[in-house]
Amino acid sequence: MEFIIKSKALYTTWVLYKPDRILFDVGEGISSSLGNKIYAIENIFLTHSHIDHISGLWGFINTRNNAMGSREKPLNIYYPENSEQIVKYISFIKNMNNRLRYSLNFIPINLKSVIEISETRYIKPFKTRHTPSELTFGYQIFEKRKRLKDEYKYLDQNSIIELSKKIGKDNISQRYDANILTISGDSLPIPLEYAENCEILLHECTFFKEEDRKIRNHTSLEELKILIKNINAKKIIIYHVSSRYNSIIKSTEEKLKKEFSDKEIYIVHPERKLKL
Ligand SMILES: [Zn+2]
Ligand SMILES: [Zn+2]
């Protein structure tokens, strides 16, 4: 299993990415829903200060202190720097939980930040279009990989082995950074450059119908489809959907699967946890 996701626009959103034990946002209900799994999480990335994305944080921090589980692992919480609401919330949490038995670090980040999450993977935030008064983030996970240098691409297997013996393994390959995952946070469609080459895209789609959207700070399905058409991602996970569409989630997902038959497409049902 790679993901556990709960997302209902306005109510709660959290995304657990299991391979790196990362949590994107911490909406309400997360601790009771994840139970002991919260001990495995070492890094939390907040996208912005809206309540439906951060309201579970206080409980999460407290439960991780008191429930049965290892307290050896530190907990790092990354958030957009200068976010006034988050800074206030952090100060409240620190005051209320001043006897923590594990190391808790709140780390402000900006658009230049690169956060190492393992020896081979790192995360970069990018700016989204959601609330003009606040810096809001989406995130990309990158993996450092190696591949055959372009000039040797057309050699057959035996020639590659020969060449490798002759000039050395390191000299036939080149390093590159693969964008394994991009998550939009709350936003209008994210710029193509952050989604273009990702392997998995998690994108919000609060509104299936354009006419339901009163303020342009969330994505509509029509807009998202244009983005999907222009990217290489094989897996698309649509989240942060308004519960007004509960009755048409399934049929909408079916339609999208037909329209984009070369991709795996999932919609996170606002009333259910998606395990993938
Ligand atoms: Zn939201
Ligand atoms: Zn929001």
User: Does residue 195 or residue 163 have the better pLDDT?
Assistant: 195
| 3-state secondary structure (DSSP) of residue 164 | helix
pLDDT tens-place string over residues 55-92: 999 999 999 998 777 788 899 999 999 899 999 999 99
CA 161 to centroid of ligand 1, rounded, Å: 52
- Residue 229 in this model has a pLDDT that exceeds 90: yes
Dump pLDDT digits (tens) for 187-218.
Answer: 999 999 999 999 999 999 999 999 999 999 99
User: 224 CA distance to ligand 2 centroid (A)?
Assistant: 17
Cα of 53 to ligand 1 centre, how many Å?
Answer: 6
Query: Structure pTM?
Result: 0.95
Span from the CA of 136 to the centroid of ligand 2 (angstroms): 9
What percent of the chain is predicted at pLDDT more than 70?
Answer: 100
Query: What burial class does residue 103 get, using C-beta atoms within 10 Å of its C-beta: 0-12 exposed, 13-18 middle, 19+ buried?
Result: exposed
Give 111-120 pLDDT, tens digit per residue: 999 999 999 9
Q: Which residues contact 168 (CB under 8 A, 6 or more apart)?
A: none
User: What tokens were used for 45?
Assistant: 């990335």
Which ligand sits closest to the CA of 55? Answer: 1
Distance 85 CA to ligand 2 centre (A): 12
Ranges of each domain in the chain? 3-270
Does pLDDT of 2 surpass 90?
Answer: yes
Domain 3-270 class in CATH? alpha beta
| More confidently predicted of 151 and 24 | 24
Residue 162's pLDDT is 92
Residue 185 Cα, ligand 1 centroid: separation in angstroms?
A: 8
DSSP β-ladder status, 137-148 and 121-127: antiparallel
Cα(69) to centroid(ligand 1), Å: 30
Tokens of 179: 């964008």
Model confidence pLDDT, tens digit, residues 9-57: 999 999 999 999 999 999 999 999 999 899 999 999 999 999 999 999 9
Beta 22-24 vs 43-45: how paired, if at all? parallel
Read off the pLDDT of each residue in 225-238 and give the average, rounded to a whole number: 97
Q: What's residue 69's pLDDT?
A: 77
Ligand 2 mean position to 50 CA, how many Å? 5
By the CB criterion, residues less than 5 angstroms from ion ligand 2 are: 50, 186
Per-residue model confidence (pLDDT) at position 98: 82
Q: What is the mean pLDDT of the chain?
A: 95
CA 73 to ligand 1 centroid distance, Å: 29
Residue type, 42: E
| Torsion angle of the four alpha carbons 100, 103, 184, 256, in this order, in degrees rounded to the nearest 10 | -80
